[in-house]
Amino acid sequence: MEARERPPAEAITRNAPLAKVRSQLAQIPLLGWLLGTLLTVVIEQAVGHPLALALGLSTVPGLFGLRIMLTKPTLIPSAVAYVLLVYVLPTLAVARLSAPLANRLAQQLLDRFPLWVSLIVHLGLFYATMHLWGDISAYRVLFLKFILISIILTLSLNLVNGYMGEFSCSHPGFMALGAYGASALTVLLFVNDDVFGAPLLPPALGPFMFPLTLIAGGLLASVGALVVAIPSFRTRGDYLAIISLAFMFIVKSLIENLEIVGGPRGFMNQPKWANLPTVFVWTAICVWMIYNFTRSTIGKAMCAVRDDEIAASAMTVNTQRTKIVTFLFAAFWAGVAGGLFAHVIGYINPSTFGVYKLSEVLAMVYLGGLNSVVGSIAGAAGLQLLMEVLRPLELFKWIVIPVLLIVLMIRRPTGLIAFTEVKIEDLLQPRRVLRQGSVQVSGKER
Amino acid sequence: MTLATFFQNFVNALQLGSFYALIALGYSMVYGVLMLFNFTHGDIFMVGAYIGFFVSSGLVAFASLGIVALPNWLILVLTILLAMLLTSFVGMLVERIGYRPLRGVPRASAAITGLMIGIVLETGNLALLGARRRSFPILIETQGYQLGPVTVTNTKIMIVFLSLLLTLALHQFVRRTKWGMAMRAMAYDFVVVPLMGVPINTIAALTFGLGSALAAAAGIFFGIAYPILNPYMGLLIGWKAFVAAILGGRGSILGAALAGFLLGFIEIFVATVFRSTLRDVIAYSIILLILTFRPHGFFGEPYSAHLRL
């Protein structure tokens, strides 16, 4: 018996270095990783440019040198060296060295203060890292904003398609409603525009009222969602997919026919108020609210409706209320994502919210994994990164990405991280080293 | 609208509706038999049109060599048959790559692979053939006939007639032959049917092949009616035909064709009565209303516990 449980000696020696590294890394809490990345971006700010020049790169690599590797193969060694020297090694070193301190700090934060203080500290560190990383170039900031907006959009679609088990195709429509609603409000109230005339309120007030216009855009999307939610009482699955698809096309061509918002030419002049902190705060609120929504009573009712509607209603779940609340809630966030999108670019046009957008969002949701907030974040960020990195391929990008997605769907049909959730409480816990190098989250030990 | 313009538009609507109907048949068959959304189908229509373009251009070039006398009508017949055959292979390939590996997993995953294969087909076409628009060779001289105040061309008659013929042929195939019976059995039950010795994979490939062949016919007719081809031609018409197919009701071939013609009528008459830009709004609103009050389509079964995602 004992001999079988122990792996062969050969395997131990072969895996020993890897296992050692793994056990070393497992001692680092999230706080330690955040400290490491924060210090890394500080280092990049200080020595990134001279180092890049010394390695033969013309500027600091935008996206971890990935695009340089595609366009100029001769520079691959320099790009790899840059990534190792600036990102990987400092992060690992700082995270590992600060692990004891970070563990103690994380424990103190949890013991002395309520959970949200610890959460805010982590989020603040994360935002600081992101902000400093984005400080290097405007391109990085734009890239980060798009990732955050995709996360909002993907999460809200996951509510309907994952947790509630429908196949809704209407998300580009909700996004368009939110984008046009919020844009019309900001342009009408705060901008001197040819069509909408002089601003009704002093423009200096604008940035403070911006959240309200976003909420208004989200509410407009929610009202639009009634068109899809009410038929969903009588039907589900395939016919609802068609209804939602029809809704998307209706919204798109209605906007094309509305001359006041520019029709097919698009709508411009939006003030670019959606800067990185704004987008980040909205994304954090969205993740928090959707995370809580899925764990609430109505979130559980939503899953019951997905698994068996008849059984759920027999168990006194109000299926109509569940459906309508979920649809309106998801549409609200899609609308907010649209409003942010409009105020990042400063121009929107109806063809943005068409079939290609639909393919993109659906791919993000199903690639990331259904019924998982973490999965959606991973799917949105992963696909956005892939699309950005492969941009030098130009036309062939749209062959490579779909082929990659097809292979991924065939290998993992349920997506990367499906039906599993990381609990925020567990994430914030310090890690403690136990005997024999095995590591346990101390929260579970208690 | 006078009576003359009404009948004129009636003829135009029949032609537009026959494209929608032929494409909708492919969607409807795959949906009926395998319960899958074949989101690649609109792009298979595009591929069919391009295959038709290359076959007919090749045949025209061959005929101009003067070795064998090939009259234009024979070229047209050969083009239709060859393109249908070749495109059906494309359809079977799509089934093999994108749908068969995903049988038995949540159906939405297959919808994603379908969407992605569609994007690959569009971009691949653009990369291989360039952004230049192709014009379909003119094989039959368009002749107009005056029926009172209404003008009818010979191509329109041919397109509508052949579309109806293909629809009825498919209907008979599914009703009368053994293969058709196997398809209907698969639509009824996916678990027991293979136990009865029905080769599921062959039937699935046949379903995709037949649908793609019809899409190729639609592509060639489209090329004859509007002789400009571009890689994204399948996008708009494909999604509309998809909606029509579902509107017809699950597994109903005549329902899909009927919904296709209905969509053609709505679009043409909206464009005559109102502005043509309002076409999509009104067409989709009517569909949404129909589905709200009759959620299972024209000839589909009503929603029940076992017809669920």
Which stretch of DSSP H or E encloses residue B96?
Answer: none
User: Which of the two residues, B278 and A10, has the higher pLDDT score?
Assistant: B278
Of B106, B278, B284, Cβ closest to residue A249: B284
**Taking Cα atoms as reference points, which of A112, A103, A436, A431 lies closest to residue A445?**
A431
Q: Is A405 in Cβ contact with B31 (below 8 Å)?
A: no
Q: What distance in Å separates the CA atoms of residue B237 and residue B225, rounded to the nearest whole number? A: 14
Of A5-14, A249-258, A409-418, B194-203, the least confident:
A5-14
Low-confidence residues of chain B: pLDDT under 50: 304-309
Of A129-138, A405-414, B294-303, the least confident:
B294-303
Q: Is A362 in Cβ contact with B111 (below 8 Å)?
A: yes
pLDDT at A156 over 90: yes
Q: Is B115 in Cβ contact with A250 (below 8 Å)?
A: no
Query: How far apart are the CA of B139 and the nearest CA of chain A, in angstroms?
Result: 34
Angle at B93 between CA B92 and CA B95, to 5 degrees: 65
Of A166, A167, A235, Cβ closest to residue B295: A235
Q: Residue B181 is encoded by which pair of tokens?
A: 């019976």
Q: Which pLDDT does position A12 carry in this prediction?
A: 52
Average of pLDDT values for A299-314? Answer: 87
Domains of chain B: 3-293 (1.10.3470)
Contact status of B307 with chain A (Cβ, < 8 Å)? yes
Query: How far apart are the CA of B261 and the nearest CA of chain A, in angstroms?
Result: 18
Using an 8 Å Cβ cutoff, are B48 and B216 in contact? Answer: yes
Q: Which pLDDT does position A445 carry in this prediction?
A: 41
**Confidence band (pLDDT; 50, 70, 90) for A1?**
very low
Q: Which amino acid is at A303?
A: C
The ipTM assigned to this model is 0.85
**What chain A residue is nearest to B306 in terms of C-alpha separation?**
A308
Domains of chain A: 11-135 (no CATH), 138-424 (1.10.3470)
Number of neighbouring beta carbons within 10 Å of residue B38: 31
Q: Residue B206 is encoded by which pair of tokens?
A: 């046949």
Beta pairing partners, B229: B134
Pairing of strands B144-147, A431-433: unpaired
Q: Which pLDDT does position A63 carry in this prediction?
A: 80
Which stretch of DSSP H or E encloses residue A440?
Answer: strand A439-441
Q: Is A257 in Cβ contact with B281 (below 8 Å)?
A: yes
3-class SS at A439? Answer: strand
Q: Residue B93 is encoded by which pair of tokens?
A: 């390939």
Q: Which pLDDT does position B303 carry in this prediction?
A: 52
Q: What is the pLDDT of residues B78-131, one digit of tens each?
A: 889 999 999 999 999 999 988 888 887 778 888 889 989 999 999 998 888 877
Q: Is B106 in Cβ contact with A246 (below 8 Å)?
A: no
**What chain A residue is nearest to B243 in terms of C-alpha separation?**
A242
Instruction: Write out chain B residues lying below 8 Å of A396, CB-based.
Output: 123, 127
Q: Is A366 in Cβ contact with B295 (below 8 Å)?
A: no
Please give the span between the terminal C-alpha atoms of chain A, in angstroms, as a whole number: 32
Q: Is the dihedral of CA A146, A152, A157, A158 positive or negative?
A: positive
Q: What distance in Å separates the CA atoms of residue A47 and residue A63, rounded to the nearest whole number? A: 17
Q: Which amino acid is at A259?
A: E
Q: What is the pLDDT of residues A72-100, one digit of tens each?
A: 888 888 888 888 888 888 888 888 888 88
Q: Is A410 in Cβ contact with B123 (below 8 Å)?
A: no
From chain B residues 229-288, the ones with a CB under 8 A of any chain A CB are 235, 239, 242-243, 246-247, 250, 275, 277-281, 284-285, 287-288
Instruction: Write out chain B residues lying below 8 Å of A402, CB-based.
Output: 116-117, 119-120, 123
pLDDT at A290 over 50: yes
Query: How far apart are the CA of A153 and the nearest CA of chain B, in angstroms?
Result: 17
Please give the torsion angle defined by the CA atoms of residues A224, A225, A226 and A231, in that order, rounded to the nearest 10 degrees: 130
Q: Which pLDDT does position A2 carry in this prediction?
A: 43
Average of pLDDT values for A140-159? Answer: 93
Query: How far apart are the CA of A260 and the nearest CA of chain B, in angstroms?
Result: 15
Mutate which: B34, B93, B116, B236, vs A, most A CBs within 10 A:
B116
Query: How far apart are the CA of A146 and the nearest CA of chain B, in angstroms?
Result: 22
Using an 8 Å Cβ cutoff, are A266 and A350 in contact? Answer: yes
Q: What is the pTM of this model?
A: 0.86
Q: Which pLDDT does position B306 carry in this prediction?
A: 43
Q: Which amino acid is at B142?
A: T
Q: Is B98 in Cβ contact with A413 (below 8 Å)?
A: no
Of A239, A309, A403, Cβ closest to residue B291: A239
Q: Which pLDDT does position A430 carry in this prediction?
A: 81
Beta strands in A290-430 (DSSP E): 347-348
Q: What distance in Å separates the CA atoms of residue A384 and residue B90, rounded to the nearest whole number? A: 31
Pairing of strands A439-441, B228-229: unpaired
Q: Which pLDDT does position A220 carry in this prediction?
A: 94
Which residues does B18 contact at the CB level (< 8 Å), separation at least 6? Answer: B159, B160, B163, B164, B218, B221, B260, B261, B264
pLDDT at A49 over 60: yes
3-class SS at A197? Answer: strand
Angle at B291 between CA B288 and CA B293, to 5 degrees: 110
What DSSP letter does each residue of B125-159 carry, written as one string? HHHHH-SPPEE----S---EEEETTEEEEHHHHHH
Angle, in degrees to the nearest 10, between helices A276-295 and A115-134: 140
**What chain A residue is nearest to B114 in terms of C-alpha separation?**
A406
pLDDT at A441 over 60: no
| Dihedrals phi, psi of A291, to nearest 5 degrees | -60, -45
Q: What distance in Å separates the CA atoms of residue A163 and residue A406, rounded to the nearest whole number? A: 23
Of B97, B123, B309, Cβ closest to residue A395: B123
By residue count, chain A amounts to 446
Exposed / middle / buried, residue B214 (Cβ in 10 Å: 0-12, 13-18, 19+) = buried
Q: What distance in Å separates the CA atoms of residue A383 and residue A152, rounded to the nearest whole number? A: 14
Q: What distance in Å separates the CA atoms of residue A376 and residue A174, rounded to the nearest whole number? A: 18
**Confidence band (pLDDT; 50, 70, 90) for A328?**
very high
pLDDT at A438 over 70: no
Burial A151-160 (b: 16+ CB within 10 A, else e): bbbbbbbbbb
Average of pLDDT values for A296-321? Answer: 87
Q: Which pLDDT does position A13 carry in this prediction?
A: 55
Q: What distance in Å separates the CA atoms of residue A214 and residue A149, rounded to the nearest whole number? A: 13
| Dihedrals phi, psi of A441, to nearest 5 degrees | -70, 125
Average of pLDDT values for A184-188? Answer: 89
- B233, HSE (Cβ side, Cα atoms, 13 Å): 28
From chain B residues 91-150, the ones with a CB under 8 A of any chain A CB are 97-98, 101-102, 105-106, 108-109, 111-113, 115-117, 119-120, 122-124, 126-127
Query: How far apart are the CA of A410 and the nearest CA of chain B, in angstroms?
Result: 6
**What chain A residue is nearest to B36 in terms of C-alpha separation?**
A238
Pairing of strands A347-348, A439-441: unpaired
Exposed / middle / buried, residue B114 (Cβ in 10 Å: 0-12, 13-18, 19+) = buried
Query: How far apart are the CA of A105 and the nearest CA of chain B, in angstroms?
Result: 43
Phi-psi region of B152 (alpha: psi -120 to 50; beta: other; left: phi over 0): beta
How many Cβ pairs within 8 Å bridge chains A and B?
141
Residue for token pair 């909408």: A196
From chain B residues 2-61, the ones with a CB under 8 A of any chain A CB are 31, 37
Q: Is B309 in Cβ contact with A236 (below 8 Å)?
A: yes
**How far out from the chain centre does Cα A279 lie?**
11
**Taking Cα atoms as reference points, which of B200, B95, B37, B99 lies closest to residue A413?**
B99
Please give the torsion angle defined by the CA atoms of residues B164, B168, B170 and B172, in that order, rounded to the nearest 10 degrees: -170
Average of pLDDT values for A237-257? Answer: 87
Provide the mean pLDDT of chain A.
84
Q: Which pLDDT does position B50 carry in this prediction?
A: 92
Phi-psi region of B197 (alpha: psi -120 to 50; beta: other; left: phi over 0): left
Please give the span between the terminal C-alpha atoms of chain B, in angstroms, as a whole number: 45
Using an 8 Å Cβ cutoff, are A329 and A292 in contact? Answer: no
Q: What distance in Å separates the CA atoms of residue B283 and residue B297, rounded to the nearest whole number? A: 15
**What chain A residue is nearest to B292 in terms of C-alpha separation?**
A231
